[in-house]
Amino acid sequence: MSPAGVPGRLEVRIKQKLYRAASGGNLHVLGELAFTLANGEVAALVGPSGCGKTTLLRIVAGLDHDYQGAVVLPQGCRLGMVFQEPRLLPWRTVEDNVRLAAPQVSDGALSALFGTLGLAEHRRHFPGELSLGLARRVALARAFAVEPDLLVLDEPFVSLDAALADRLRAELIELVGRRPVTTLLVTHDVEEAIGLADRLLVLSASPARVVADVPVARPRTSRNAEEVAAIVSELARRSGA
Amino acid sequence: MPAASIGRARGIEVVLRLISLGLLIAAWWLGSHLAGERLLPDPQSVALAIIAEARSGALAFNLGVTLARVAASFVIAMALGTAFGLVMGRRRAADRLGDPWLVALLNLPALVIIVLAYIWAGLTESAAIAAVALNKLPIATVTVREGARSLDPGLDDMARVFRMPTWVRLRHVVLPQLAPYLAAAARSGLSLVWKIVLIVELLGRPNGVGFEIGTAFQLFDVTRILAYALAFVAVMLVIETFLVQPLERHVSRWRPRKA
């Protein structure tokens, strides 16, 4: 599989990824695509829908080995992932869902995590009894409970109302602030990307390549509308160039 | 629905069941009087025969022996059927390899399998149990294969990402998804298995309900035939009510209940 890496560092060097369509013929999903994330860095992948972001995440997560190139995961990598849908086990309680993914988690750490995410009173509930917002929180809790070296988030706040998405974003920032973890986030919402990431990786339409690598300088907690506007215009300038 | 009307609905259900049972016994009584005691003994004499067999200890012994055979062949067939079904549902090559065998076994009459098992392995206990298990195996395999084909790939990815060990994945991710298919296979399996066990006992075992019924057949003793058949049906009913149904309720406890 992947060669041994450096602690906390994610290295992605993809030459290309073809997808065999059901109708026959190949779909060129990813083009030449390379980037490296330093330990604790949070990067957001932004790009048009259908450009292969989820495919890229699946390759990074080791769910798809059928590509050309290499992905070097952090040394001794423990992976935490939040999928687009919560993907909880409907037949296990909230607590069991988290514990099955993270058997090593201590009672104290679990309580703290549930406290931060507002899940304390839902421990014994089954996923079918939760709203989508709560289920998403459980998925976040599960990813953090494994104390990952690499966190992969695939549009974790899609199809939530704006206020709830904002709250969850704030909770995510708090969790990442508490224990720095190399994070790769996919979103199609540039403002969300700017709010969460240290760095934006802008992808082109399929076959995806990195067309811009934009650092976000200010700390997460003090980002404001002005900063967002500046980066959005920077992005516009670069993609015009 | 408020509790009072739930209670009333349940009460009506019980009354309907009792009426149904009463009608059955009445029809039996009537049939017995029309056909004559020799062809169809009345419920009372069958009940007395059951009591007499129970007193002598023969009933418990024969029921126990048959039940043990049912349990052994059922467990073997379900375990192997689940394993084969899972592999065939997940791996295309295994499906292609195993499918002709499955079709052949599905279409082989139970009697042929039993007779061949006795010829090849002798009139032994293991031949009897293997023959019954082999009869049930293809149906269990086909049902579980259907379930394995419909496993959620999203949950599979989740289990892989979080590096769940194989056993955890099987117990907490795969088997719960298969539960409805396993329940269907178990339900149909239990009733099929005990019917085939009786034939196996009739043909080549010196004890059990099937053997007793075979002896009664030679003596034209309809009372005895009915006594053993009804006693065994009662045992299976008890198993269904106190084992299968509570298990099903436990397995599906996570489903949001309907009001």
pLDDT digits (tens, 9 = 90+) for A101-145: 999 999 999 998 898 888 999 999 999 999 988 999 999 999 989
Arithmetic mean of pLDDT, B198-226: 93
Residue B78 lies in a domain: yes
Q: Does B93 touch chain A (CB under 8 A)?
A: no
| Residue range(s) defining the domain that contains residue B247 | 58-251
- How many angstroms separate the CA atoms of B211 and B208, rounded? 5
Q: How confident is the model at residue A239 (pLDDT cuts 50, 70, 90)?
A: low
Residue A91 lies in a domain: no
CB contact under 8 A, A142 and B161: no
Pairing of strands A10-20, A26-30: antiparallel
> Using a CB-CB distance cutoff of 8 angstroms, which residues of chain A are in contact with residue B254?
90-92, 126, 128
ipTM, 2 dp: 0.85
CB contact under 8 A, B172 and A100: yes
CB contact under 8 A, A92 and B161: no
Please enumerate in sequence order all residues whose Cβ is within 8 A of that of A177, keeping only pairs 6 or more positions apart, or say none.
Answer: A220, A221
Tell me what percent of the residues of chain B surpass a pLDDT of 70.
Answer: 97
The answer on pLDDT for B104 being more than 70 is yes
Interface test with B, best of A91, A92, A152 (most B CBs within 10 A): A91
Nearest to A101 among B162, B176, B254 (CB): B162
Residue B29 lies in a domain: no
For residue A91, the model assigns a pLDDT of 92
Residue B16 lies in a domain: no
B159, closest residue in chain A (CA to CA):
A101
Residue A94 lies in a domain: no
For residue B245, the model assigns a pLDDT of 81
Arithmetic mean of pLDDT, B93-109: 93
pLDDT digits (tens, 9 = 90+) for A89-103: 999 999 999 999 999
pLDDT digits (tens, 9 = 90+) for B114-130: 999 999 999 999 999 99
More confident residue, B182 or A7: B182
Interface test with A, best of B155, B160, B161 (most A CBs within 10 A): B161
Highest mean pLDDT among A85-94, A155-164, B243-252: A85-94
What does pLDDT average to over chain B? 90
What's the DSSP call for residue B241? Answer: I
pLDDT digits (tens, 9 = 90+) for B219-251: 999 999 999 999 988 998 888 888 888 888 887
Domain count, chain A: 1
The CATH code of the domain that includes A211 is 3.40.50.300
For residue B165, the model assigns a pLDDT of 94
User: Among residues B220, B233, B235, which one has the least CA distance to residue B41?
Assistant: B220
Q: Compute, in degrees rounded to 10, the torsion defined by CA atoms A24, A30, A32, A35.
A: -160
CB contact under 8 A, B161 and A146: no
For residue B8, the model assigns a pLDDT of 79
- Residue B6 has a CB neighbour count (10 Å cut-off) of 10
Out of A80-84, B5-9, B217-221, pick the least confident.
Answer: B5-9
CB contact under 8 A, A62 and B164: no
Interface test with B, best of A65, A89, A104 (most B CBs within 10 A): A89
The CATH code of the domain that includes B235 is 1.10.3720.10
Q: With the C-alpha atoms ordered B65, B67, B69, B71, is the resulting torsion angle positive or negative?
A: negative
- Residue B239 has a CB neighbour count (10 Å cut-off) of 16
The answer on pLDDT for A210 being more than 90 is no
Arithmetic mean of pLDDT, B204-217: 93
CA of B157, closest CA in chain A: separation in Å? 7
Q: Does B151 touch chain A (CB under 8 A)?
A: no
Residue A104 lies in a domain: no
For residue B45, the model assigns a pLDDT of 92
For residue A2, the model assigns a pLDDT of 47
Q: What is the pTM of this model?
A: 0.77
Residue B47 lies in a domain: no
Residue B42 lies in a domain: no
Q: Does B163 touch chain A (CB under 8 A)?
A: yes
Residue A100 lies in a domain: no
- How many angstroms separate the CA atoms of B171 and A214, rounded? 45
Q: Name the β-bridge partners of A185.
A: A44, A153
Number of CB pairs, chain A paired with chain B, less than 8 A apart: 55
CB contact under 8 A, A128 and B163: no
Residue A10 lies in a domain: yes
> Using a CB-CB distance cutoff of 8 angstroms, which residues of chain A are in contact with residue B162?
79-81, 100-102, 142, 146
CB contact under 8 A, B154 and A62: no
Q: Does B167 touch chain A (CB under 8 A)?
A: no
pLDDT digits (tens, 9 = 90+) for A181-197: 899 999 878 888 888 88
CB contact under 8 A, A128 and B157: no
The answer on pLDDT for B136 being more than 50 is yes
Q: Interface of chain A against chain B, CB under 8 Å?
A: 58, 61-63, 79-81, 83, 85, 87, 89-92, 96, 100-102, 126, 128-129, 142, 146, 152
| Residue range(s) defining the domain that contains residue A2 | 1-78+180-241
How wide is the angle at C-alpha B20 spanned by C-alphas B15 and B21, nearest 5°? 100
For residue B52, the model assigns a pLDDT of 93
Arithmetic mean of pLDDT, B1-25: 81
Out of A22-26, A232-236, B18-22, B231-235, pick the least confident.
Answer: A232-236
How are strands ordered across the β-sheet holding A79-82? A79-82, A150-154, A182-187, A42-46, A199-203, A210-215
Domain count, chain B: 1
Arithmetic mean of pLDDT, B180-196: 87
- How many angstroms separate the CA atoms of A157 and A15, rounded? 30
pLDDT digits (tens, 9 = 90+) for B29-62: 999 999 988 889 999 999 999 999 999 999 999 9
Nearest to B173 among A61, A89, A152 (CB): A89
The answer on pLDDT for A83 being more than 70 is yes
Residue B21 lies in a domain: no
The answer on pLDDT for B259 being more than 60 is no
Give B180: exposed, middle or buried? Use CB within 10 Å, 0-12, 13-18, 19+.
middle
B167, closest residue in chain A (CA to CA):
A100
Helices B222-239 + B209-218 axis angle, to 10? 160
